[in-house]
């Protein structure tokens, strides 16, 4: 169980806090949807949970094991010689280390993850050449390979067609079934049906938190 208490984040120069005394809980083997308009604080909360943004005050307890974070926007140096397959392979690093050779099971896991996300034809492309939506799919495949304890997704269906969104939905549900705590920021109405819990944010505050039957 990840427990957030009185979490506040203030960006330098901002007149209002991005998060204002937020209380929330995120359970393993469950999907929590962060719901709210742009600027409501969803992405900021994910960044705090991922450990990439320190809170101004408040606390986060219970984040243990590995964390896979799929941001909405990914900046990559244009000259970085990293292929799509290479990026997905990085999901094995926590378990194997970056210096070890991949075994047969690891290669099969990478191939299966690429197939599930629809990356087969992009495997040899440079990661830096991909669109934002394609990069998100690569990072999601990386998370599948990593089998992270916590999976954080920031608007993973943005710009995708209905068929591609259905694939993302299947992956999200499968990650929760295997025991991960899945937290997904979204504005797509259909994603509410995936949620075991919905946390609604309005102007940086929790407007409503309610359990939803699975």
The DSSP code sequence of 80-143 is: ---BHHHHHHGGGHHHH-TTSPP-HHHHHHHHHHHHHHT-GGGTTSBGGGS-HHHHHHHHHHHH
Within a 10 A sphere around the Cβ of 17, how many other Cβ atoms? 20
Q: In the block, which residue shows the tokens 């359970």?
A: 27
CB 19 within 8 A of CB 33: no
Share of the chain above pLDDT 70, in %: 89
**Separation of alpha carbons 157 and 153, rounded Å:** 9
**Separation of alpha carbons 153 and 184, rounded Å:** 5
Is residue 213 over pLDDT 60? no
**Separation of alpha carbons 148 and 94, rounded Å:** 9
Within a 10 A sphere around the Cβ of 6, how many other Cβ atoms? 13
Whole-prediction pTM: 0.84
Is residue 88 over pLDDT 70? yes
What are the tens digits of pLDDT across the range 123-151?
888 888 888 778 888 888 998 898 889 99
Note the pLDDT of residue 76. Answer: 58
Note the pLDDT of residue 97. Answer: 62
Q: Please provide the CATH number assigned to the domain covering 1-65+149-214.
A: 3.40.50.300
Note the pLDDT of residue 214. Answer: 43
Residue with the bigger pLDDT between 31 and 77: it is: 31
CB 186 within 8 A of CB 155: yes
Note the pLDDT of residue 9. Answer: 97
**Separation of alpha carbons 37 and 16, rounded Å:** 16
Map residue 12 onto helix, strand or coil. Answer: coil
Q: Domain coordinates of the chain in residue numbers?
A: 1-65+149-214, 79-148
CB 32 within 8 A of CB 212: no
> What tokens appear for 9 in the block?
């984040």
């Amino acid at each position: 169980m990840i427990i957030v208490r009185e979490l506040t984040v203030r960006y330098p120069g901002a007149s209002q806090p991005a998060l204002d005394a937020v209380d929330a809980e995120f359970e393993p083997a469950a999907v929590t949807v962060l719901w709210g308009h742009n600027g409501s604080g969803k992405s900021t909360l994910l960044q705090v949970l991922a450990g990439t943004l320190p809170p101004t005050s408040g606390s986060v307890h219970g984040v243990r094991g590995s964390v896979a974070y799929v941001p909405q926007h990914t900046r990559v140096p244009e000259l970085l010689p990293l292929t799509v397959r290479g990026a997905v392979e990085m999901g094995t690093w926590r378990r194997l280390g970056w210096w070890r050779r991949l075994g047969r099971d690891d290669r099969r896991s990478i191939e299966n993850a690429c197939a599930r996300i629809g990356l087969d034809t992009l495997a040899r492309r440079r990661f830096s050449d991909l669109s934002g939506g394609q990069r998100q799919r690569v990072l999601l495949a990386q998370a599948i390979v990593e089998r992270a304890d916590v999976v954080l997704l920031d608007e993973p269906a943005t710009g995708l067609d209905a068929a591609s969104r259905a694939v993302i939905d299947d992956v999200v549900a499968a990650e929760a079934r295997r025991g991960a705590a899945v937290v997904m920021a979204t504005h797509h109405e259909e994603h509410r049906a995936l949620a075991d819990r919905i946390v609604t944010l309005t102007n940086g505050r929790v407007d409503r938190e309610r359990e939803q039957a699975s």
